[in-house]
Structure 1
Amino acid sequence: MEKIQLPNHPVFEVIAEAAAELNVDAHVIGGFVRDLVLKRPSKDIDVVCVGNGIALAELVAQKLPHKPKVTVFKNFGTAMLKTDGWEVEFVGARKESYLEHSRKPEVEQGTLEDDLKRRDFTINALGISLNKEDYGQLLDEFGGIKDIKRKIIRTPLEPGITFSDDPLRMMRAIRFASQLSFDIDPDTFDAIVDYKERIKIVSQERITDELNKIILSPKPSYGFKLLFTSGLLQLIFPKMVELHGVETINGNTHKDNFYHTLQVLDNVAEVSDDLWLRWSAILHDIAKPDTKRYHPKIGWTFHGHEDRGARMVPNLFKNLKLPLNDHMKFVQKLVKLHLRPIALVKDTVTDSAIRRLLFEAGDDIDALMKLCRADITSKNDTKVKRYLQNFDKVEKRLVEVEESDQLRNFQPVITGEIIMETFGLSPSKTVGELKEVLTEAILEGKVKNEYEAAFAFLLERGKEKGLQQV
């Protein structure tokens, strides 16, 4: 039998020693073994013992030099400890049975083979012995090593049983395929298609967690194409599916915005691993189906899709159980502004237009420019090159204007409080109007954002409104 070299860390020897003392079989199992074979870094270790996993965890903690705290989850029969940045979870071998309308299993003690059977995929149903007599020996009941070599995602049991029991595994199959660039075994994929409706019993939070992992994979479009082809995407994110398809009238055809969006997402993924920038790529054209119009003289238009899309972002985040915080506002801002730099690629671009973009984008200007560059997906290489060169010019002008005017996240030096004190006003529409006029004048370059010049301008505008300095 094949032996696997475990990492050079004392925790493995300590577990082996503790297991021998308690007279239980113990194995490292699951994703840690898979990643070890794939040479992927991992510090999350799952240990299964045929016996009491909690007792094993407590004895291991006693034997480790720094005596780490053991966190016990009695309801699940599991325990966890942390040592030197490694997270080790212990559990007794179990077998499971499921009721039709729940993904929460009935769990009872079982053999190591029972425990391996309940794993989602063969590549995760691998074990390495921590027992003195066969320390380091690989346990591979279901051909997981062969599937790793073939780059295949396959279930250890009949796939219909695996997915019906726990429908989240359908999302996990696609997530692993996307993360590892593996194929899904045809029978396994057919079962996803057959059992896709079962995803409805899974909580949105769990679905979105898997979706985010797909989005963060090296080439996320691969995962989305699998979601779409299987029919899962239509159930978990129907608004995105509305982007799919083309329409032709009088020989005029618009591009398929679904595949365009996936290309933009991949382009962003090549330059950033920021989840929220990637979400901005997914949602940048989300309102195109709602704003699509055909005009005989100009063809297809999507006027205002950026504003409509920005207004849609909070509801989409809410439905997907994504955070309704600064991350959502960041995505909303980028969706709203994603066409603005494209409008600035002319030679005649004015400083005031650059100032406005800096003012509105603030610290997110760099992320916005990454999204805009990613949004150039034409098959015409000359056109792509021209656009990207134009963006180089825009970025150069952004730097120049920012250095001279300091407009990133700028606030007018004259605040609402100063306006009220100057003219003896209470909070009112007039205060807001004066502040807006002053902001516009600064952005247009008519007034420097310096106190004396801005205050003189304020007095003039106040006079026009019949206001006197108090």
Structure 2
Amino acid sequence: MIQEFHKDAIQHPVFQLIGETADELGMDAYVIGGFVRDYFLKRGTPKDIDVVAVGSGIQLAKKVASKLKGKPEVSIFKNFGTAMIKHQGLELEFVGARKESYHRDSRKPVVEDGTLEDDQNRRDFTINAMALSLNNTNFGQLLDPFDGISDLDKKIIRTPLEPGITYSDDPLRMMRAIRFATQLHFTIELKSLQAITENKNRIKIISEERIVDELHKILMSPTPSLGFKLMHQTGLLPLILPELTALQGIEEIEGQRHKDNFWHTLEVVDNISETTDNLWLRWAALLHDIGKAPTKKFHNKIGWTFHGHEFVGSKMVYKLFKRMRMPLNDKMKFVQKMVLMSSRPIILAEDHVTDSAVRRLVFDAGDYVDDLMTLCEADITTKNPKKQRKYKNNFQLVRQKIVEVEERDHVRNFQPPVSGEEIMQTFNLKPSKEIGIIKDAIKEAILEGEIPNEYEAAYQFMLEKGKQLNLKVHSE
């Protein structure tokens, strides 16, 4: 192997300090993994730095921390044999070189001390197995036994050892391979891709949290569809998100066809990724049509319908989030709301845009109306340039109308100008259905544009409504 040195990669003084400390302890130390990979890819300097020591990583970490300014705390994870130091915005993780063996029913390996070569063998991909020496005698020397440098040049994801063993041992690596291919725009080597397909069912031993973590990273990449296409191609997708693969296919009855909602969904996700970094809005794009599979029906006179798919889809979001152990909090509710309302602006854009329809949209969407519009604009996947221009122009009109209506009527996060307490006092009422009737009537009158969203107009309307309900104004 040609000895290459890359001292410029490890110019930060902390690397020199780690190397000197390792020399004092009589052990070899290397920076390995993502830091080295990203240096060669010119992706900026990662804040997470993995240091592998041929010896005790914990001992090296403690000694390094004692020499650092401010003597930072060392977090020790005995179960994993690792230690972490946070210093000047860097996260330094130290581990002893090790070799691993696996049991069939677990991705948790049996670990024993090993050499650097053992440690590089256990790495997931060749591009993550490159190491730079930190010891004084060969500071900056690249150790690349699997020619990860060439794979970076060729833009290939390849495993250091036989891929079938690599993926069977730790099936999460299948998701990681797809994630790296998506983030870096790399190709997974054919043997590796076949091994993922053969080992796809092994994904069942991986926790939902780990899988979701990889899904988040795929969704946050510049072109998420690359990852979902690879999951689909290898058979992983139906095991992880069957709601998506259920959308695939085009049926034709009596010459009437519907579009393939699976491939349409992937286009929508790519579209929205060009305009927002909001992870949960990207999730909403991914799930916006999942209600179409269970609601699909063919009618002789009108063809294919998906009635109520938004409502059904929003219910499915909860089940999916629960199954995948995703947060069942405001993030889930946001995705549900986006799925539930995903067709509303489209209907508006197709018809004449009335003030009352826009008021209702803003009232129902609240603070999320801009996100909803972003989702609907991403939903334009027609290849007809004329139609595409028309939809985009119409959505622009809807956005403009939203601004005008909101400035004038203030219905976003609507609070009625007349409170329930005031209605009770005015008509000397105890809690009763009449209060709800009057409050709803005021809200409807404002949304329909019958009265402005102002106290005086709402108060007069309340009196009128009270008279219709045979209520008497209470005079003290």
Q: Distance in 1 between matches of 2:77 and 2:33?
A: 19
1:236 paired residue number: 240
1:457 aligns with 2:461: yes
Give aligned pairs, total. Answer: 470
Q: Distance in 2 between matches of 1:420 and 1:34?
A: 69
Any idea what SS the aligned residue of 2:401 has? Answer: helix
Q: 1:181 aligns with which of 172, 179, 185?
A: 185
Q: Distance in 2 between matches of 1:385 and 1:100?
A: 55
2:226 paired residue number: 222
Deviations 1:209-245 (A, max 9, x none): 1111111111000000000010000101111110111
Any idea what SS the aligned residue of 1:88 has? Answer: strand
User: How far did residue 448 of structure 1 move?
Assistant: 1.8
Q: 1:2 aligns with which of 1, 4, 13?
A: 4
Q: 2:261 aligns with which of 257, 264, 276?
A: 257
1:298 aligns with 2:302: yes
The answer to whether the 8 A contact 2:5-2:140 is kept is yes
Any idea what SS the aligned residue of 1:80 has? Answer: strand
Any idea what SS the aligned residue of 2:99 has? Answer: strand
Q: Residues 133-212 of structure 1: matches in 2 within 5 Å? A: 133-212=137-216
User: How far did residue 347 of structure 1 move?
Assistant: 6.4
User: How far did residue 183 of structure 1 move?
Assistant: 0.5
User: How far did residue 409 of structure 1 move?
Assistant: 1.4
Any idea what SS the aligned residue of 2:112 has? Answer: strand
Deviations 1:80-133 (A, max 9, x none): 011111110001001111111111111111111111111111111110000101
1:53 aligns with 2:54: no
Any idea what SS the aligned residue of 2:414 has? Answer: coil
Q: Distance in 2 between matches of 1:55 and 1:32?
A: 22
Q: Which moved more, 1:321-330 or 1:1-10?
A: 1-10
Q: Distance in 2 between matches of 1:346 and 1:95?
A: 62
Query: Which sections of structure 1, spanning at least 5 residues, go unmatched?
Result: none
1:32 paired residue number: 35
Deviations 1:383-432 (A, max 9, x none): 10111011111111111111111222121122223333333334443322
Q: CA RMSD in A?
A: 1.3
The answer to whether the 8 A contact 2:156-2:187 is kept is yes
Any idea what SS the aligned residue of 2:274 has? Answer: helix
2:23 paired residue number: 20
2:96 paired residue number: 92
Q: Distance in 2 between matches of 1:7 and 1:405?
A: 59
Q: Distance in 1 between matches of 2:188 and 2:431?
A: 63
TM-score by length of 2: 0.96
Q: Distance in 2 between matches of 1:352 and 1:137?
A: 69
1:388 paired residue number: 392
TM-score by length of 1: 0.98
Deviations 1:11-35 (A, max 9, x none): 1111111111111100000111111
Residue 106 of structure 2 aligns with an amino acid whose one-letter code is S
User: How far did residue 375 of structure 1 move?
Assistant: 0.3
The answer to whether the 8 A contact 2:183-2:218 is kept is yes
Q: Residues 277-296 of structure 1: matches in 2 within 5 Å? A: 277-296=281-300
Q: Distance in 2 between matches of 1:87 and 1:417?
A: 56
The answer to whether the 8 A contact 2:97-2:119 is kept is yes
Residue 218 of structure 1 aligns with an amino acid whose one-letter code is P
1:80 paired residue number: 84
Q: 1:110 aligns with which of 88, 111, 114?
A: 114
Any idea what SS the aligned residue of 2:298 has? Answer: strand
Query: Which sections of structure 2, spanning at least 5 residues, go unmatched?
Result: none
Deviations 1:339-392 (A, max 9, x none): 111122256321111111111111111111111111010111111011101111
Residue 23 of structure 2 aligns with an amino acid whose one-letter code is A
Pick closer, same or farther for the CA change 1:457–1:160 going to 2, 3 Å.
Answer: same
Q: Which moved more, 1:382-391 or 1:256-265?
A: 382-391
Q: Distance in 2 between matches of 1:33 and 1:421?
A: 72
Q: Distance in 1 between matches of 2:321 and 2:299?
A: 33
User: How far did residue 469 of structure 1 move?
Assistant: 3.1
Any idea what SS the aligned residue of 2:264 has? Answer: helix
1:363 paired residue number: 367
The answer to whether the 8 A contact 2:410-2:453 is kept is no
Q: Which moved more, 1:217-226 or 1:343-352?
A: 343-352
User: How far did residue 56 of structure 1 move?
Assistant: 0.7
Q: Distance in 2 between matches of 1:460 and 1:65?
A: 75
2:124 paired residue number: 120
Q: Distance in 1 between matches of 2:472 and 2:24?
A: 89
